[in-house]
Structure 1
């Protein structure tokens, strides 16, 4: 009888654990459904702010500093093709061929990180970076990564590649309080985004991983080396930028 009671107790515990897990999954699914962003609206509407911008404003307020935001939205046609190619070459060379995730890029980044003994390459695509920039906090957790993956797939499903690129180039951080290609071009080179030269475009792409560190613009040895690499790789994406569907 004791053995039977013990089995019954274990079965009851397992049943309770399964029930709790199902309830947790149901609540999590409900939370995601009710808080999931309306990505489809981005087909025709531009965002009024982003999670990153809001976070920067909160950080400035907490530090007792003024919150400054230089941001001018421009259509992709008003962004130099040089900058479009430079950003793709620097951030996501397979942008036009993947569906939101570049698994080969992730593998290569992991190898480089192992060789360096630290994280030096992230492997995130432009679409993933856009998802984080628009909607997510800087928190690092499995939940946030899951949210990022779902939003990335939604962006790729609802939007064209050119629209994703347009959004990214308009919300990317390019300095302290500097957001988007137009503000970046004005801030760093005192000209419009459409007027950027190849070298200037490659420089802006080179500082993207750490834009606040290089503001005001400083061409360090690292930035110069990265700029040269980007310039060499820009021709590989020339045709894809010019012929991709609207």
Structure 2
């Protein structure tokens, strides 16, 4: 009996891994939903999202998000081991600071929100697999199309239209910095009416962009 149970568990795990691999490969080419979006659809809550290709998103937003969230995005393989080790040594547990954009994409597409070692442990192999299967521009394209910027509001295009009444392609550096600064707390930070915390985050993002120059070039469309 124990052998049959273990065999069943092994087969289920194998099928799950194959399904994840198939989805990662499929998501190289098709618009991707997030688990938050799927959850809202499941309970019949509205979702506002307009998927746009990366060449229809302002390079200012690409660079601002990388500057704010993951400055080593172009050099790591999906996981920033230096930052992750620092956080794992922190007795308070995992935090957003250790999550690369690839790890956040893995979480948003395949996992659940919240902080735990279990979820972080699942993020790591998923992020490595995504980095191997997708290009850097594809990671950013997916991330910017599923990021949450308000209650039921997902993706750069929908956020740009709501907050600035323009397309994501026409965002200015200041507007892009506000959107990037809102990501750590999108339900409480309104890019159209920035509070003090958002103004500070946006200003920091703009300073980092000026200092780092070509930061994020690997993620721009060819």
Give the match for residue 163 of structure 2.
Answer: 188
2:202 to 221, 224, 227: 227
Give the match for residue 8 of structure 1.
Answer: none
In structure 2, the CA distance between the partners of 1:99 and 1:89, relative to structure 1 (3 Å rule), is same
Superposed, which structure 2 residues align to 1:1-246 within 5 Å?
A: 26=10, 29-30=13-14, 32-37=16-21, 38-47=23-32, 49-58=33-42, 61=43, 67-107=45-85, 109=87, 121-138=96-113, 142-215=117-190, 217-236=192-211, 238-242=213-217, 246=222
| Mapped contact 1:51–1:136 kept (Cα < 8 A) | yes
TM-score scaled by length of structure 1: 0.76
| Mapped contact 1:171–1:179 kept (Cα < 8 A) | yes
Distance in 2 (CA, whole Å) between partners of 1:141 and 1:121 is: 11
**Runs of 5+ unmatched residues, structure 2:** none
Cα deviation, residue 137, structure 1 = 2.1
In structure 2, the CA distance between the partners of 1:77 and 1:216, relative to structure 1 (3 Å rule), is closer
In structure 2, the CA distance between the partners of 1:243 and 1:143, relative to structure 1 (3 Å rule), is closer
SS in 1 for 2:30: coil
Q: Which moves more between the two structures, 38-47 or 100-109?
A: 100-109
Distance in 2 (CA, whole Å) between partners of 1:150 and 1:228 is: 34
SS in 2 for 1:174: strand
Distance in 2 (CA, whole Å) between partners of 1:27 and 1:236 is: 51
**Runs of 5+ unmatched residues, structure 1:** 1-16
Cα deviation, residue 23, structure 1 = 6.2
Count of residues in correspondence between the two structures: 220
In structure 2, the CA distance between the partners of 1:198 and 1:241, relative to structure 1 (3 Å rule), is same
Distance in 2 (CA, whole Å) between partners of 1:157 and 1:30 is: 20
| Mapped contact 2:78–2:103 kept (Cα < 8 A) | yes
